[in-house]
């Protein structure tokens, strides 16, 4: 088989794409896989590191405000469509899978023109505009949340879940995770996970309680402050506390989840899938700075499944810390969330997607 996987821009698109590629190789190691991404985006580095070839398109995103950059987008789109036409013509894939992101649209559109089966993997509970536009002609649409028939044809939807990296499916023990991360083996542990770039709201909401944190000798914080804010927060009092472990980026997020009793996180779709498969009780603070406010919709879905708590970003500085401490003290609420997480977890999402694509290729 020959498969093209297209999309990227953020880890929420790139890592599921790599997990899907790994699943194809797990089923048939001879599968040829080519990634198509956007020039200058993270997939151009992450995909080769995972052992796959990638070609970049000169595509970028639409500016929501009036901008001359939108004029150049017309030329970038035309150039990307032309390049995608040649890529697909030369590679001759059996199927194309779009995972969202700038490059996904041109590649899926060319697949439609060339009458090659294409598939969409929609991570969020609120579908992106490109996926909505291309959904009608897709062979199947793989989703992670219920109720997606309001965006896509019902007969094409497959509830597969979001693919996550294999290391989240095989967590180390809590003791091993804490030893690897270099934190105390016995203290109650709160993970603050704002993503690789960090989240200012989470950082400020936590640092405002530095004095209380300092007095709690039974507590420690495993805090991914983000590369954007590392220098700023190193200077703050809270970063000097012996029970605060500050990271700009945590490479071993499998250990971070395993080490945490509870955590605070944004509500990106892949983060929620990671929480589900690792069974980590969490307070979610949806980012307000995303298209269609989709993180709030993601979080509300999790709250509706009794799988997490939520604090809106606008009140996080006032309410987040107390909500987090309340969850840390409440073992029964933690167990309730763990049950909810177990119910929504789909640890075999990548294999489900790969098998369905293979089945449909053979049917055609």
**Average pLDDT score over residue span 125-152:** 92
By percentage, how much of the chain surpasses pLDDT 70? 96
Model pLDDT, residue 300: 95
**Average pLDDT score over residue span 127-156:** 93
Measured CA to CA in angstroms, residue 302 lies from 49, 141, 158, 267, 323 at distances of: 32, 21, 19, 9, 16
Model pLDDT, residue 125: 86
Model pLDDT, residue 238: 84
Mean of all residue pLDDT scores within the chain: 92
Model pLDDT, residue 235: 77
Model pLDDT, residue 155: 96
By percentage, how much of the chain surpasses pLDDT 90? 77
Model pLDDT, residue 75: 84
Is 167-344 the same fold as 2-163+347-363?
Answer: yes
Phi and psi at 99, nearest 5°, equal -110, 10
Domain coordinates of the chain in residue numbers? 2-163+347-363, 167-344
- Domain 2-163+347-363: assigned CATH number: 3.40.50.2000
Measured CA to CA in angstroms, residue 199 lies from 22, 204, 224, 351 at distances of: 30, 9, 9, 32
Q: What is the pLDDT of residues 229-249, one digit of tens each?
A: 877 777 788 888 999 999 888
For domain 167-344, the CATH superfamily is: Glycogen Phosphorylase B; (3.40.50.2000)
| Cα–Cα dist 58/263, whole Å | 38
In the predicted model, is pLDDT for residue 188 greater than 70? yes
Q: What is the pLDDT of residues 43-90, one digit of tens each?
A: 999 999 999 999 999 987 655 555 566 667 788 889 999 999 999 999
| Cα–Cα dist 25/346, whole Å | 20
Q: Which tops the pLDDT comparison, 125 or 315?
A: 315
In the predicted model, is pLDDT for residue 129 greater than 90? no
Handedness of CA 117, 123, 124, 128 (dihedral sign): negative
Residue 166 pLDDT grade (very low, low, confident, very high; cuts 50, 70, 90): confident
Q: Beta-carbon neighbour count of residue 255 at 10 Å?
A: 22
Taking Cα atoms as reference points, which of 310, 319, 312, 313 lies closest to residue 340? 310
Model pLDDT, residue 66: 54
Model pLDDT, residue 65: 54
Model pLDDT, residue 227: 80
Q: What is the pLDDT of residues 15-26, one digit of tens each?
A: 899 999 999 999
pTM: 0.87
Which tokens is 120 given? 């969409």
Taking Cα atoms as reference points, which of 111, 105, 263, 127 lies closest to residue 190? 263
Residue 213 pLDDT grade (very low, low, confident, very high; cuts 50, 70, 90): very high
Phi and psi at 317, nearest 5°, equal -65, -30
Sheet of strand 244-247, all strands in order from the earlier edge strand to the far edge: 244-247, 219-224, 188-193, 262-265, 282-284, 309-310
CA torsion 135-136-139-143 (nearest 10°) is: 40
In the predicted model, is pLDDT for residue 101 greater than 80? yes
Which tokens is 116 given? 């090659």
Give the list of residues 6+ apart from residue 77 with CB closer than 8 angstroms, or none: 59, 106
């Amino acid at each position: 088989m020959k498969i093209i996987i297209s999309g990227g821009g953020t880890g929420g698109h790139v890592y599921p794409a790599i997990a899907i590629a790994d699943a194809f190789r797990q089923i048939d190691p001879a599968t040829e896989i080519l990634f198509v991404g956007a020039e200058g985006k993270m997939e151009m580095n992450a995909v080769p590191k995972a052992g796959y070839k990638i070609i970049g398109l000169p595509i970028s995103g639409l500016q929501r405000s009036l901008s001359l950059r939108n004029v150049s987008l017309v030329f970038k789109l035309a150039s990307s469509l032309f390049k995608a036409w040649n890529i697909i013509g030369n590679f001759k894939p059996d199927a194309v899978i779009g995972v969202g992101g700038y490059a996904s649209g041109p590649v899926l559109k060319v697949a439609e023109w060339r009458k090659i089966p294409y598939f969409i993997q929609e991570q969020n509970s609120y579908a992106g505009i490109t996926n909505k536009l291309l959904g009608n002609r897709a062979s199947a649409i793989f989703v992670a949340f219920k109720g997606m028939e309001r965006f896509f044809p019902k007969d094409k939807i497959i509830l597969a879940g979001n693919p996550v990296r294999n290391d989240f499916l095989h967590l180390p023990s809590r003791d091993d995770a804490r030893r690897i991360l270099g934190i105390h083996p016995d203290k109650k542990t709160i993970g603050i996970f704002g993503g690789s770039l960090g989240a200012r709201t989470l950082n400020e909401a936590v640092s405002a309680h530095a004095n209380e944190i300092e007095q709690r000798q039974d507590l420690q914080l495993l805090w991914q402050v983000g590369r954007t804010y590392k220098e700023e927060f190193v200077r703050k009092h809270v970063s000097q506390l012996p029970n605060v472990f500050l990271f700009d980026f945590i490479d071993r997020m499998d250990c971070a989840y395993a080490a945490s009793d509870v955590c605070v996180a944004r509500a990106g779709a892949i983060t929620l899938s990671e929480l589900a498969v690792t069974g980590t009780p969490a307070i979610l603070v949806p980012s307000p700075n995303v298209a269609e406010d989709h993180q709030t919709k993601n979080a509300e879905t999790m709250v509706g499944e009794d799988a997490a708590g939520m604090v809106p970003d606008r009140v996080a500085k006032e309410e987040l810390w107390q909500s987090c401490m309340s969850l840390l003290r409440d073992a029964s609420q933690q167990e309730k969330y763990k049950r909810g997480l177990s119910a929504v977890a789909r640890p075999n999402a990548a294999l489900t997607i790969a098998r369905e694509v293979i089945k449909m290729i053979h049917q055609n």
